């Protein structure tokens, strides 16, 4: 297979997987799911790091650093806020009573 | 592009991509959601570390510093935000992600432009790479400015009602046309300057796209912009030849689009109608002002008697409850009523709060037992046999206009049938309309009693009064 076809294949399969894995989500979880997916696209941080690390132009470096800060806010903040929401869902189990104290 | 990357790196990336699939799968079930989120966080952390080990990166210190600054800001923001303000926090995080993707693409485009200038020919740059780059710049910018406007609406830095001005459709169409022309130019000959212009127009389009959307529909737009950002990350992954970005971005793009459709369905709206409904005329504009028609209001003691001697009570909690931080007082009231032998349940509208599922999060925070939270479809049949419906800080989700008034912006949205109960008690601060900005006929119904005041204050008095019965 030529390279563009490989990428297209990965893309199309990912579309189907993306829909399939969340197809049965209950409306209760819409907000955390949206928030978690939001955190996952913070992985653009990886792209920002690679691009910034491979330029020697000062302006490009500065722009890249801004992109890194923004992407890190997205990724770290997204996962932390999602976890805060989900703690509240798990805490109602009587077994986990000790988690309540925060 | 894959060639040249060490095998171990490709294998780690594959593992990360699979982890993101497992993360989304986990997030869609209540028992596995937290683990799913942690898997996603772990995979993202590992993926970001990888380039430091196999690439000879420049500016490593600066990069690490930037990562630290961003992470600290994100962490603190996420830790400090009130659960009631979470929707706008998600919007903000999404916006900065879109902005980051646009900036990364801009740098890629600058590289292409340098390459073309150096070689004197555009042959070395694959056309589709430039197309993907242009896509990322535009859509990333749209996502950034759209999310910022969304944030401003939810944070009430600006009006939550649709913002329209004459000629908006023309300006919007013009901006799209200019984008298209510029995109064609850039694809033919990569240019950094035109790339920056594309980004700026993208910012304008994003703002124009979200401004006309009414407050109640904003969550749907957040979800849609979230999907947009996912797709830009996927396109960025293609250009950089990075599998993790491609898979993660595509997963978010696809699942986000699907989730948007699910949410719109729960509100009885189509996504196109939400985005462009306001363009067709003033139909999504509401009165937006308090009416001076007469209503029946009562004291907390009167309402206490009503509740105390009812057999069946349904509580309809809304965003106003959360804003007043009255969840705990409400739970106490429900417990006292339950001890008196009254059957009390909470009716949860799918979009109660500011986002689908938001109310569940807020009540879970107040430790309301899960079994008492009943979803709309399961409880709507019960209202006919209900003595009193207590509506706390909600309005639009019980507005019968959704059934009866085709011109209302919420027309077609499934609502809680509170109007079928024997008595309805509204706890509100004032007669001001709800987030959708339209009047609620139920407030003027002869069976309706108003209890004006801050929800926490009123619930406290109500609780005290019920205890003395």
Contacts 24+ apart (CB under 8 A), B35-43: B36/A36, B37/A32, B37/A36, B37/A39, B37/A79, B37/A82, B37/A83, B37/A86, B38/A83, B40/A36, B40/A39, B40/A40, B40/A79, B41/A39, B41/A79, B41/A83, B43/B15, B43/B16, B43/B19
A19: CB partners within 8 A, 6+ apart: B254, B255, B258
Of A3, A33, A81, the CB nearest to B1: A3
Determine, yes or no, domain membership for A19. no
Handedness of CA B155, B160, B162, B168 (dihedral sign): negative
Q: State how far the Cα of B29 lies from the Cα of B219, in Å rounded to an integer.
A: 21
Determine, yes or no, domain membership for A98. no
**Dihedral pair phi/psi, residue B159, rounded to 5°:** -65, 145
| Closest residue in B to A82 (Cα–Cα) | B37
B358 CB near a chain A CB, below 8 Å? yes
Q: State how far the Cα of B250 lies from the Cα of B233, in Å rounded to an integer.
A: 8
**Dihedral pair phi/psi, residue B211, rounded to 5°:** -50, -45
Q: CB count, 10 Å around CB of A79?
A: 28
Instruction: Please indicate whether, in this complex, the C-beta atoms of A22 and B367 are within 8 angstroms of each other.
Output: no
pTM, two decimals, is 0.82
* Domains identified in chain B and CATH numbers: 81-282 (no CATH), 300-467 (3.40.50.1220)
Q: State how far the Cα of A48 lies from the Cα of B64, in Å rounded to an integer.
A: 12
Task: Name which residue leads in pLDDT, B274 or A92.
Answer: B274
Instruction: Please indicate whether, in this complex, the C-beta atoms of A72 and B70 are within 8 angstroms of each other.
Output: yes
Q: What is the pLDDT of residue B250?
A: 97
Helix, strand, or coil (residue B427): strand
Determine, yes or no, domain membership for A65. yes
Q: State how far the Cα of A51 lies from the Cα of A46, in Å rounded to an integer.
A: 9
Determine, yes or no, domain membership for A100. no
Q: Locate B38 and state its tokens.
A: 């942690």
Instruction: Please indicate whether, in this complex, the C-beta atoms of A63 and B106 are within 8 angstroms of each other.
Output: yes
B296: left (phi over 0), alpha (psi -120 to 50) or beta: beta
B301: CB partners within 8 A, 6+ apart: B465
Q: What is the pLDDT of residue B356?
A: 73
Best to test chain A binding among B37, B129, B219 (most A CBs inside 10 Å) = B37
Instruction: Please indicate whether, in this complex, the C-beta atoms of A68 and B66 are within 8 angstroms of each other.
Output: yes
Selection from B420, B414, B359, B423 nearest residue B389 by Cα: B423
Instruction: Please indicate whether, in this complex, the C-beta atoms of A34 and B240 are within 8 angstroms of each other.
Output: no
- Using an 8 Å CB-CB cutoff, list chain A residues near B356: 27, 30-31
Instruction: Please indicate whether, in this complex, the C-beta atoms of B78 and A10 are within 8 angstroms of each other.
Output: no
- Using an 8 Å CB-CB cutoff, list chain A residues near B253: 15, 18
Helix, strand, or coil (residue B59): coil
B258 CB near a chain A CB, below 8 Å? yes
Determine, yes or no, domain membership for A85. yes
Q: Locate B439 and state its tokens.
A: 């009047």
Q: State how far the Cα of B87 lies from the Cα of B97, in Å rounded to an integer.
A: 16
Supply the range of the domain harboring residue A39: 25-92
Best to test chain A binding among B3, B93, B223, B253 (most A CBs inside 10 Å) = B93
> Is the separation of the CB atoms in B1 and B241 below 8 Å?
yes
Q: Locate B430 and state its tokens.
A: 């004032």
Determine, yes or no, domain membership for A101. no
pLDDT tens digit at each of 469 positions of chain B: 445 789 999 999 999 999 999 999 999 988 899 999 999 999 999 999 999 999 989 999 999 999 999 999 999 999 999 888 888 999 999 999 999 999 999 999 999 998 888 877 767 788 889 999 999 999 999 999 999 999 998 888 888 778 888 888 899 999 999 999 999 999 988 999 999 999 999 999 999 999 988 777 888 899 999 999 999 999 999 999 999 999 999 999 999 999 999 888 777 778 887 887 766 544 444 444 455 677 888 889 989 999 999 999 999 998 888 878 888 899 999 999 999 999 999 999 877 877 777 888 888 888 888 788 888 888 999 999 999 999 998 888 899 988 888 877 778 788 999 999 999 999 988 787 776 677 888 888 889 999 988 888 999 999 999 998 8
Q: What is the pLDDT of residue B3?
A: 55
B232: left (phi over 0), alpha (psi -120 to 50) or beta: alpha
Determine, yes or no, domain membership for A67. yes
Of A17, A41, A89, the CB nearest to B230: A41
**Number of domains forming the structure of chain A:** 1
Q: What is the pLDDT of residue B224?
A: 94
Of A7, A60, A65, the CB nearest to B110: A60
CA distances from A68 to B71, B102, B103, B223 (A): 10, 12, 9, 23
Q: What is the pLDDT of residue B165?
A: 83
Selection from A36, A39, A63 nearest residue A52 by Cα: A63
> Is the separation of the CB atoms in B300 and B332 below 8 Å?
no
* Alpha-carbon B136 to chain mean position: 22
> Is the separation of the CB atoms in A43 and B233 below 8 Å?
yes
Q: What is the pLDDT of residue A98?
A: 41
- Using an 8 Å CB-CB cutoff, list chain A residues near B103: 48, 63-64, 66-67, 70
Instruction: Please indicate whether, in this complex, the C-beta atoms of A37 and B50 are within 8 angstroms of each other.
Output: no
Quick check: A94 pLDDT over 50? no
Determine, yes or no, domain membership for A18. no
B222 CB near a chain A CB, below 8 Å? yes
Q: What is the pLDDT of residue B402?
A: 86
Of A6, A42, A68, the CB nearest to B97: A42
Q: What is the dihedral of CA B360, B364, B367, B370, to 10 degrees?
A: 60
Instruction: Please indicate whether, in this complex, the C-beta atoms of A89 and B34 are within 8 angstroms of each other.
Output: yes
Q: What is the pLDDT of residue A102?
A: 38
């Amino acid at each position: 297979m030529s390279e563009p076809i490989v990428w297209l294949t990965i893309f199309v399969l990912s579309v189907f997987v993306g829909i399939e894995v969340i197809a049965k989500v209950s409306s209760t979880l819409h907000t955390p799911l949206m928030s978690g997916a939001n955190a996952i696209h913070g992985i653009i941080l990886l792209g920002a790091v690679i691009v910034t690390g491979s330029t020697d132009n000062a302006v490009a470096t500065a722009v890249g650093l801004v992109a890194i800060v923004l992407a890190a806010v997205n990724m770290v903040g997204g996962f932390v806020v999602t976890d805060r929401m989900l703690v509240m869902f798990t805490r109602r189990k009587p077994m986990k009573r000790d988690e309540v104290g925060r | 592009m894959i060639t040249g990357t060490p095998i171990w790196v490709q294998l780690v990336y594959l593992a990360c991509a699979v982890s993101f699939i497992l993360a989304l799968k986990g997030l869609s079930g209540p028992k596995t959601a937290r683990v799913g989120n942690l898997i996603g966080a772990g995979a993202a952390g590992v993926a970001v570390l990888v380039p430091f080990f196999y690439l000879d990166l420049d500016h490593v210190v600066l990069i690490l510093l930037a990562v630290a600054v961003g992470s600290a800001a994100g962490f603190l923001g996420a830790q400090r935000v009130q659960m009631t303000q979470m929707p706008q926090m998600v919007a903000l995080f999404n916006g900065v992600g879109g902005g980051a993707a646009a900036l990364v693409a801009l740098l890629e485009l600058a590289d292409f432009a340098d390459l073309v200038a150096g070689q004197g020919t555009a042959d070395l740059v694959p056309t589709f790479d430039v197309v993907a780059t242009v896509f990322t710049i535009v859509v990333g910018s749209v996502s950034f400015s759209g999310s910022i406007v969304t944030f401003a609406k939810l944070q009430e830095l600006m009006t939550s009602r649709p913002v329209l001005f004459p000629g908006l459709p023309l300006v919007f169409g013009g901006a799209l046309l200019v984008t298209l022309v510029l995109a064609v130019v850039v694809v033919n000959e990569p240019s950094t300057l035109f790339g920056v212009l594309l980004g700026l127009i993208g910012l304008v389009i994003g703002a124009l796209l979200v401004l006309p959307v009414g407050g109640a529909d904003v969550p749907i737009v957040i979800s849609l912009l979230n999907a947009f950002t996912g797709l830009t990350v996927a396109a960025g992954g293609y250009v950089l030849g990075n599998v993790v970005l491609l898979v993660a971005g595509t997963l978010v793009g696809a699942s986000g689009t699907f989730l948007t459709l699910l949410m719109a369905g729960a509100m009885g709206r189509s996504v196109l109608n939400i985005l462009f409904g306001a363009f067709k005329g003033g139909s999504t504009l509401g009165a937006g002002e308090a009416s001076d028609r007469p209503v029946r209001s009562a004291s907390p003691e009167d309402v206490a008697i009503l509740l105390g001697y009812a057999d069946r009570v349904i509580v309809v909690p809304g965003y106003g409850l959360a804003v007043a931080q009255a969840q705990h007082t409400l739970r106490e009231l429900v417990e006292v009523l339950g001890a008196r032998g009254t059957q009390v349940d909470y009716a949860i509208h799918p979009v109660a709060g500011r986002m689908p599922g938001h109310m569940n999060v807020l009540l879970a925070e107040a430790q309301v037992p899960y079994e008492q939270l009943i979803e709309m479809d399961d409880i709507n049949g019960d209202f006919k046999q209900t003595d009193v419906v207590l509506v706390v800080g909600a309005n639009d989700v019980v507005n019968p206009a959704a059934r009866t008034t085709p011109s209302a912006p919420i027309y077609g949205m499934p609502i809680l049938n509170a109007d079928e109960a024997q008595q309805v008690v509204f706890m509100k601060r004032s007669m001001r309309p709800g987030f959708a900005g339209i009047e609620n006929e139920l407030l003027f119904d002869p069976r309706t009693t108003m209890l004006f005041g801050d929800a926490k204050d009123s619930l406290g008095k109500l609780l005290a009064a019920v205890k003395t019965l």
